[in-house]
Structure 1
């Protein structure tokens, strides 16, 4: 029996040792034939069956040592097949081999062994690649297997196809032969690994390589675009070398391949030795890419390579430990980026990026703990979210600051060495970090990983006495007593004119300290802790005038906290508007990005307010950003620093979105020149902002031009920018046309939410998008099965733009008689998000109007 009886897992009468798997895909019928032989360890000799995970597989035959199974019982609900054998079949041996013949579907749902559609650049012909995505539980769509992460085994894979196609798998090639007009590629056996990391690809592919590492490092793509893989190939070689030194463990496989896959549900997948990526997250035209795109590719590549150790070499025991994989790989990618590109100042950006993503989701009642119990396969996809990735990595950042980065990485290395080729639990990592640091890491971190949410720390001042009090934070501000029982160990990191006091930990409800100089106080120095801080109105006013005493992380964190507290009513939105209006002379692009994002959250909540209020908010934004935008300009040179370029991009983009007439005129002129044949008319770094300006201008002729760019782009970056902006046109006929492209094959399945996201940016788009979603719900449900993550993402985009209780009633009414299995968490989180926006607007509608009128922002 399982040690956790409520978990739905396979019987443990046998366990896998080694798989021999042969697969042959057919691109005419979109099916594949397979055979698998699994060497089994017999744990219960009295049993007479073998049960495996299978899904959408047609089983033809199963035998053990030439003894055929008597019957096969398939359970579609639990995705298993039980093969019953004559009594005594397992009795006489410690190990047996089961041989199974089967046929599967080369599906178009981006799961298991599937087909990815693309257009051949040279011929214009529609072609397909056969590729895999097994995580979390879709290896069972590709072959009968023990599809649980702690049932590791080794794999020997053989692929069969037309000789002209490339065959790739986790390992290097043992031998290749042509037989009967077909190519057979036999790969060397893998080390022990989990089924979700198995990968194989059959496709027309070319590659580039980097020879700076001791083993082959290659990036593959469909012919014609492989040259765009050189940046990633070079970075891969450099990163593998860096991680080997950091972890003190050699990368254990004989090669590292990366492949650009045309239809891909995630950003990338860390399959051991054969990492697969969404095209836009791997291939890069550096000269024509935005700075965000370059940083994104670097982050994704380094994230997947961190997984080669953390996740692949040592794997979580079960799916509630997913955060260990994802949180760590996220933290490690930032750590590596910081080593390779110190001018990117990634730890500053982290506060505006991952930390805010984590706090945003975790401020909802429908959030979940970092470690969340998972009982069924269909629950797993829903935890691939900002809690596992962003809160997980934010927690690791907090620990690394507490212990020191060097000690943290040393503890991780000890953990990896101890559990390599095996499985481990969260507690095992805490124990290794405790050993390396001499601190009680487990006791502190158990609360953070096993409890949902994070605290608000309220700061009250009485002369030199300062009291800190913690409570659970919810952005609906309606915390019930039973939800407020957890007391988090909060590292206060109190910053004053004397420096930072790292000794203060708030692990009770309240703590009072005496501070000699109270002219300047700020908790959570450098924003390393996972909490928000609430100050008095007077202290907010004082802090808004003390930017010179604050680091970039501090300033970014203050802006984010003040917006968060405004949203939930712990402070007035007036404090937020006053704070950012004081910081017009800010020089950090990170702080500007946070100010603009936070202002964007306010505008999104106010989306359905009267037109004159929205125009006044635009005027507020223009007066905040225009002067700096005009003085910086929007010309770029190669000699400029990364920070200078990012600042220009942020200011131009903000001014364009706020309809600054000078910037709008410049953007439209650039677009006109660009579409008339001047390929250098738009600097690549601001191309997406120019496209967005054109869409907001609403001209139908420009829609045609953007659509032409989408169909024939100069880069994948440009293609996605054009696609997103097709959703930003407000003309009802153009919105209808854009939505039509989501189902007719014009937009790839993986990209469907991109134009939807553009449409969510304006009131009419929000309403049109929801009407379309309701009308097409059955088709969406069929196209994106609930067992995949895409349906939840689509639902979120289609509904979360609303800002009223009336909308909540309508959404709940629509789903009341429908199954929400597989996306119930996304639905609950969306409704929480709308509730918090409705509360915010109702509470501070008049406050915002009064502030805007008093400062003459109304025209």
Structure 2
């Protein structure tokens, strides 16, 4: 039986109501439910004895039997709202469900043992039938191994014969929790409660989240991506609710208080894509023949038009992918549903895509342009999965980048198609590249495709859902397209998807089809050899170029250079100067220095490598070339491509962190920002200044650094202040991004004009309850107003948070509440995260991460995480650990972190904690070596 889990008092009441009101129709329900079980014995079976079955040598399922199809019946005796007040003696009720499944399978290797996954389910009966003879095969024993392999092991009295067709029928019960895995309960409030404690507006729904290995929590199944099958599903649920699943509805029967919803057969798919929802949600329909597209959400959100934007762009993105891949979308319908509670942001279930509300709902006049961009990107990402992941699936989880890297990369093209003003190919890859670089500069990173034998445990699998898989995966695919060029790349994709439809593949299959695309387009590249160096090895190289001698070399880039590494990559090098651009990349394939004549520059000229940042590597130059590049940036920056202006900043700062160049070089690169108005260079600079802030905001470096940033950002801030007075925003999307960043940097650095503007606008909102702050600027204006204010401003923001159901506004206010400088208010806010009535559990980790960004908040958050790790780790432990430890730079903090690693059950956070330990060691040494140099530089730059 599954372990007990606490849920809210409202859910407990609903459960008691359920047990009272269900009695009248229970006899009819039992008869009908048993009829669905068909050949299963309607009387309770005797207890099947457990055995000491020897498990297979790995955590993987044996390949002796292969599933073909499932018949799944699930019954949920659960109400979606409170019907009446019921006295409850215990607030810790749980909610159960029951079901049965019949699995049709083929035996491919003679065996008398069936291994199947089952977790947190009580399986009461198992029967096996020979479909060739219609005879039953007796079960001798059944044993569960939840603490080890999560296998249900079924021993038979006689062997299954190779080539035979069989069926396995199982009866089981399980429990619904509120933990975001498997089938779980989500809750929301419809409208505004009439008084504190009023539960009449509370609503509940049942939803699934089965990736990567949680379908086994819903029904016993062969829960591995290669074990694809067809699913035939019937859901028995309360009459007033609607059930959705992967496939369209086939038939609905209404009997008393119950609704039987039978769905059509799904395509052949992996278990992690199995999904359903039971709710009272409503939908916005959109037309895209012949696919029926519906976007579901809370009735209040649908009525307010918050699903309209998603409904408008979904069909356009589907059409784009169909034309790009030359394969039609494979189902008759596509449902999307916005959920109050979901971790992660979205899940690509075939035909029923689930989203966090903030990832799908857009409110005109309340949501920012950045949120609109995010919604479009996430929808495009999930729709890309309908091909990459759903139609063609990785063979095992170590190949996860085949779906996540591809969906991340391809989604940018789809967004550029439906929203060309977003300029996503530049914007997205700028952030993806720098995010991947940061993590991949540590020895505790991992290869994009780790060895299969290293990814066996549940924690191993979950830990792969990280920046390396998503961001590095996208970047190396972008690099491959640059090398092959688009026609060959797209041709390879089309063949890969066509030939492996409804099947599984690995990276070798992908390289095979990419090679065919390359050969057909006369591209002289050994694809497998080139890509294996980027997918099978940890990290990335730094390329060093001397423009005086023409020497070029590569070396593994690491923040901790004491780590010895002999790794070598096939590196595509493309260079440019004022008068020259390489027509195609040239490969550097050796660790030994080489002399390339084309890299020699005459005195005073500059040379730039990795043009437009299409390669996954950093570049360092001889001092003369760095000086020439800096001079060009300060005199006429437009001659250097925008993406390279961004990357020169990022490379210089990170080369300094690795002690390859002097930190003063990195700081000198930022001087040109005084006249820069484009978003990407500023964004890159602030990402990197953030590291210096975190290392030195507890020292005397902080003051001069703030003064320098105020002077640098003043021009950018005043440009938008003069043109819009911050009551309006520019028309151009990227200029809107620049304006938002200008407000962020100006207010954070204490520019008086910005601080006064934020206090004035927020004060007007408090005074007359009319919010004139543009949605683009609310995030940072709210933050500055709360930071500069006291209890009155904080309480006002909290009251606004409680009274709104708008997802975007809640996000801005959650962040603002963490900006206060009052320690007691931060402690109060941390306490609120433990109360689901105040803060949903899915948002708790985000809030603690935000609080940790300030000096005072970081100490509070670190203590809080350790005190409440079990609760907080459900909502994204990797982000939480990264945020709260990013300032660690003392021996005491290192010791505390090492003690945390030793004393706590970290689960999937194990790798990120090890990365934090490694980064803290690097920080300690870097701070001790660079504090005086930084202080002198900032004081000299701001002396006048």
2:278 matches 1:177: no
Contact conserved, 1:157 with 1:187, CA < 8 A, in 2? yes
Q: 539, 550, 554: which one pairs with 1:466? A: 550
Deviation, structure 1 residue 485: 1.5
Does 2:703 match 1:615?
yes
In the alignment, is the contact (CA less than 8 A) between 1:707 and 1:722 conserved in 2? yes
| Structure 1 match to 2:869 | 777
On the 8 A contact 1:616/1:857 being kept in 2, the answer is no
Which deviates the most, 767-776 or 111-120?
767-776
Residue in structure 2 matched with residue 88 of structure 1 by the alignment: 158
* Deviations, residues 542-576 of structure 1 (Å, cap 9, x unaligned): 21221232111110111111111122211122112
Structure 1 window deviating more from structure 2 (325-334 vs 486-495): it is: 486-495
Structure 1 distance, partners of 2:740, 2:890, is 33
Q: Is the 8 A contact 1:370 1:387 kept in 2?
A: yes
1:491 and 2:561 are equivalent in the alignment: no
Contact 1:16 1:152 survives alignment (8 Å) = yes
In structure 1, distance between residues paired with 2:367 and 2:671: 32
Match of 1:160 in 2: 236
Task: Give, in angstroms, the shift of residue 249 of structure 1.
Answer: 0.4
Aligned with 2:707: secondary structure?
helix
The 3-state SS of whatever aligns with 2:563 is: coil
Q: 2-side partners of 1:587 and 1:739: how far apart? A: 38
Larger radius of gyration: 2
Distance 2:909 2:576 in 1: 42
What residue is the counterpart of 1:802 in the other structure? 888
Q: Does 1:187 align with 2:263?
A: yes
- Distance (whole Å) between structure 2 residues aligned to residue 6 and residue 327 of structure 1: 31
The corresponding residue for 1:598 is 688
* Aligned residues of 2:901 and 2:913 also touching (Cα < 8 A): no
The 5-angstrom pairing of residues 120-139 of structure 1 reads: 120-121=190-191, 125-139=201-215
Please show how residues 393-404 of structure 1 align to structure 2 within 5 Å: 393-404=474-485
Distance in 2 (alpha carbons) for counterparts of 1:432 and 1:667: 55
Q: Structure 2: how far apart are the matches of 1:753 and 1:90?
A: 49
Q: CA deviation at 1:383?
A: 0.6
**Are the aligned partners of 1:169 and 1:200 in contact in 2 as well (CA < 8 Å)?**
yes
What is residue 766 of structure 1 aligned with on the other side?
858
| Alignment deviations for residues 727-777 of structure 1 (CA, whole Å, 9 cap, x no partner) | 222222111101101111121111112221221221111111111222233
After TM superposition, give the deviation of residue 451 of structure 1 in Å.
0.3
Selected match of 2:843 from 745, 751, 754: 751
Contact 1:626 1:655 in 2 (8 A): yes
Corresponding residue of 1:505: 587
Establish whether residue 259 from structure 1 lines up as the match of residue 347 from structure 2.
no
Partners of 2:571 and 2:153 lie apart in 1 by 53
Q: Distance in 2 between matches of 1:676 and 1:406?
A: 59
Structure 2 distance, partners of 1:298, 1:578, is: 37
Q: How do 1:524-603 residues align onto structure 2 when only pairs under 5 Å count? A: 524-546=610-632, 547-603=637-693
Kindly indicate whether the alpha-carbon contact (under 8 Å) linking 1:537 and 1:575 is maintained by their aligned counterparts in 2. no
Mapped partners of 1:792, 1:704: distance in 2: 30
What corresponds to 2:148 in structure 1?
Answer: 78
Q: How far is the alpha carbon of 1:527 from its aligned partner?
A: 0.9
Please show how residues 633-652 of structure 1 align to structure 2 within 5 Å: 633=721, 634-635=725-726, 637=728, 640-652=731-743
1:106 maps onto 2:194 in alignment: no
Distance 2:669 2:366 in 1: 36
> In the aligned structure 1, how far is the partner of 2:161 from the partner of 2:623?
77
Secondary structure at the residue paired with 2:179?
A: coil
> Which of 223, 231, 234 in structure 2 is aligned with 1:147?
223
Contact 1:62 1:101 in 2 (8 A): yes
Deviation, structure 1 residue 215:
1.2
Matched, 1:20 2:110: no
> Would the aligned equivalents of 2:853 and 2:883 in 1 still touch at CA under 8 Å?
no
Structure 2 residue runs of 5 or longer lacking an equivalent are 1-55, 80-93, 130-135, 194-199, 520-524
Structure 2 equivalent of residue 686 of structure 1: 777
Is 1:422 the counterpart of 2:503 in the alignment?
A: yes
Are 2:784 and 2:819, in contact at CA under 8 Å, matched by a contact in 1? no
Taking the aligned partners of 1:698 and 1:32, their CA distance within structure 2 comes to 50
The TM-score normalised by the length of structure 1 is: 0.95
Number of residues of Structure 1 aligned to a counterpart in Structure 2:
840
Match in the other structure for 2:906: 820
Which whole-Å CA distance do the structure 1 matches of 2:76 and 2:245 have between them?
A: 14
Q: Choose which of 516, 535, 547 in structure 2 pairs with 1:449.
A: 535
> CA, structure 1 residues 512+643, in 2 after alignment: closer, same or farther (shift >3 Å)?
same
> Structure 1 residues 64-73 or 229-238, which shifts more?
64-73
Distance 1:96 1:334 in 2: 45
Structure 2 distance, partners of 1:96, 1:332, is 41
**Counterparts of 1:437 and 1:116 in 2: how far apart (Å)?**
48
Residues 846 and 880 in structure 2, CA contact (< 8 A), matched pair in contact too: no
Deviations 1:312-357 (A, max 9, x none): 0000011111011000000011121223333222222234300001
Give unpaired runs (5+ residues) of structure 1. Answer: none
The structure-2 alpha-carbon separation of the partners of 1:818 and 1:638, relative to structure 1 and needing over 3 Å to count, comes to closer
Deviates most, 749-758 or 109-118: 749-758
Counterpart-to-counterpart distance in 2, 1:349 and 1:545: 26
Aligned partners of 2:797, 2:912: CA distance in 1, in Å? 32
2:276 is aligned, of 171, 184, 200, to: 200
Task: Check conservation: 2:283, 2:294, Cα contact below 8 A.
Answer: yes
| Alignment partners' CA distance in 2, 1:25 and 1:101 | 15
Residue 761 of structure 2 contacts residue 773 of structure 2 at CA under 8 Å; is this kept in 1?
Answer: yes
| Cα displacement (A) at 1:536 | 3.2
Q: Distance in 1 between matches of 2:806 and 2:662?
A: 44
SS at match of 1:171: coil
CA deviation string 1:682-717 (max 9, x = no partner) = 111100011110232141211101111221236211
Quote how far apart the aligned CAs of 1:779 are. 5.0
Cα deviation for residue 7 of structure 1 reads 4.5
| Residues 471-519 of structure 1: CA deviation (Å, up to 9, x unaligned) | 1111123231xxx221111112111123222342211122211246440
Shift of residue 99, structure 1, vs aligned partner: 0.9
CA separation of 1:128 and 1:302: change in aligned 2, threshold 3 A: same
Residue 289 of structure 1 is matched in structure 2 by 367
Structure 1 ranges of 4+ moved more than 4 A: 636-639, 778-781
Distance (Å, rounded) in 2 between the aligned partners of 1:237 and 1:117: 29
Deviation at 1:679, TM superposition (A): 3.1
Give the superposition deviation at 1:266.
Answer: 0.2
1:846 match? 932
Q: Is the 2:540–2:557 Cα contact (8 Å) retained in structure 1?
A: yes
Bigger mean CA deviation after superposition, 65-74 or 148-157: 65-74
**Cα shift at 1:237:** 0.4
CA contact (8 A) 1:476 1:839 kept: no
In structure 1, distance between residues paired with 2:361 and 2:342: 14
Q: CA deviation at 1:219?
A: 0.4
Which whole-Å deviations, capped at 9, do the CAs of 1:394-445 have from their partners, x for residues lacking one?
Answer: 0011111111223212210111001000001111111111111123211100
Please give the alpha-carbon distance, in whole angstroms, between the structure 1 residues aligned to 2:249 and 2:854.
53
Shift of 1:91: 4.8
State the alpha-carbon separation in 2 of the partners of residues 760 and 568 from structure 1. Answer: 25
Structure-2 change in CA distance of 1:23 and 1:582 (3 Å):
same
The residue matched to 1:87 in structure 2 has which SS?
strand
Over 3 Å counting, the alpha-carbon distance change for 1:741 and 1:678 in structure 2 is: closer
